[in-house]
Amino acid sequence: MIQAIRGTKDILPDTIDYWNYLEFTAKAVSESFGYKEIRTPIFEKTEVFSRGVGEGTDIVNKEMYTFADKGGESITLRPEKTAAIVRAIIQSSLYQQQPITRLWYFAPFFRYERPQKGRLRQFHQFGAECISSPYPESDVEVISLAVEYCKSLGIEDYKLLINSLGNEQSRIAYKEVLIKYLLENKDKLTADSQNRLEQNPLRVLDSKAEQDKAVVEGSPNILDSLDAESKLHFETVLSYLDKLGISYAIQPRLVRGLDYYSHTVFEFQHSSLGSQDSFGGGGRYNSLFSQLGGKETPAVGFAMGAERLMIILEAIGKLPQPEPVADYYLLAADSKFIPKAIEIASALRSKGKKVLTDLIRRSFKSQMRDAGKLNIPYVVIIAEDELSRDSLLLKNMLNGEQNEILIKEFLK
C-alpha cells in the first residue's frame, strides 16, 4: 500500500470541522481589524527565502524543500509566508498604491524537520502582516489580533514573550559585545554554534542544543544595547500592551529563528505542547523589503501553527462540537417512494436547507438508525398512507415527536 509522506497528514472528514473552525475564526478576527486575505503560490524561486529568511538560519540551511525544475530553475516549497508576501507586494507595487496594507492568510507550509508531536513537514499557519507603518501602534495591532484570535478560540492560559532586537545600529553594537562574550566561551559551544559565532551570533542565542543553553543563559542582555530610538519604540509597545490589559513577559534572549527581524519580536507559548511549546510568533521586519529588491518599507506580522492550536484546543477541551451533516433526512418508507423523496429533497435544498437521502435502498429501520447516528435533527418520512393525502410525516429526532403535515404546507 502506498503511504503518505512522513510528516504529512490527511485531513479526513472526521476533523474537517475543526479546521474550518480555525480558519473561519481567523477570517472573522482578521476582518474585524480590516485585514484582507492574500494567497500566493505554494512554491517560489529559492532566493525569496534564502535572501528573505536568511542564509544562516536552520530553515534555509537544513529545512527547505528545494529542487531544480525541468527548466533548471531552483524552486522551493514555501517554508513560511512573510518573504513570499513581501515578494508579491513588491511585484504588484501594492505598497506604493496605498498608504497601508493589512493582510491575513491561512495556508500550508513545508519544512524538512524531524516529525514529532506538533512538528510536521507539511503544516498550516494562520498569519497576519501589517505593511508600511514604522510606529509601535502597528506592532500592537498585530499582537492584539493574535491575542483576539486566542480569545475567540477560548485559549487563555498562554504566555506571551516579548523582546526587542532594536534598529540596525543597536544590533551592530550588541553583536560586538555578544561576539566578545561567545569567543570567551567558544570551547563550551557546539560545533554548529562555533561556526555561526562570528557571522551570525544572534543564531547562537536561538540554538536548541542543551550544550549551548548554559552559555546563552549568561550572555549579555540585548536590551542594554538599545539606542534611544529603539528603546522608545519598545517602551511604547509595552505601554500600549499595558493599556490594553495584554500581559507579557520580557525575554531578552528571544531572537526567533528567522533573520529578518528588527525591533519587536514575540512568541506565544502553551504548556500543553511539551517540547514544541511555541505555537506562534512574529515581529517587525523593517529591512525585508529592501533585501528583496523593493523600496525600504517598515512592516510587522505574526504566524500561528494550526496543528499546535489544535493540540491546545484538544487539551483544554475547547474543540467545537461537529455540526450535523444535514437539517433533514428524507426517508422513503418503500423504494417506490424514492422518486418523491428525491423531489422533496430537491425542493428543500432550493430553499437553502441541508438535506440527505439514502442512496443504498435501506429498510425503514436502518434509515432511521442512520439518521440517528448522524445526529440529523429531522426525518421526513414518505409513506403510503400520508402520500395518499398529499402529506408526509415529520419526525423531530430530539424529542421523538411526529406530525403529519401537507407537503405544500411543509415546503412553504
Alpha carbon of residue 309 to chain centroid:
8
C-alpha cell recorded at residue 67: 529542487
CB of 78 to ligand HAM, least distance (A): 10
- Measure the CA–CA gap between 300 and 285, rounded to whole angstroms: 6
Single residue of 44, 58, 80, 358 touching ligand HAM by CB under 6 A: 80
Q: Is 289 in the site for ligand HAM (CB under 6 A)?
A: no
251 residue type, one letter? Q
Q: Is 52 in the site for ligand HAM (CB under 6 A)?
A: no
Secondary structure (DSSP) of 201-255: HHHHHT---HHHHHHHHTSPPGGGG--HHHHHHHHHHHHHHHHHT---EE-TT--
| Nearest to ligand HAM of 308, 395 (CB atom) | 308
Judged by CB under 6 A, the stretch of 69-77, 122-130, 152-160, 246-254 that binds ligand HAM is: 122-130
**Would you tell me the crossing angle of helices 136-153 and 228-244 to the nearest 10 degrees?**
30
Number of residues in contact with ligand HAM, rule: CB under 6 A? 28
- Tell me if 308 sits within 8 A of 118, measured CB to CB: yes
Judged by CB under 6 A, the stretch of 68-76, 162-170, 232-240, 301-309 that binds ligand HAM is: 301-309
Task: Please choose, from the candidates 312, 342, 311, 308, the residue with its C-alpha nearest in 3D space to the C-alpha of residue 328.
Answer: 342
CB of 299 to ligand HAM, least distance (A): 8
Alpha carbon of residue 215 to chain centroid:
33
- Tell me if 84 sits within 8 A of 47, measured CB to CB: no
Judged by CB under 6 A, the stretch of 77-85, 208-216, 359-367, 388-396 that binds ligand HAM is: 77-85
| Nearest to ligand HAM of 302, 378 (CB atom) | 302
Q: Is 125 in the site for ligand HAM (CB under 6 A)?
A: yes
The 81-110 site mask, x for binding ligand HAM (CB under 6 A), equals xx----------------------------
Site residues, ligand HAM (CB under 6 A): 80-82, 111, 113, 118-120, 123, 125, 127, 129, 257-258, 278-283, 285, 301-305, 307-308
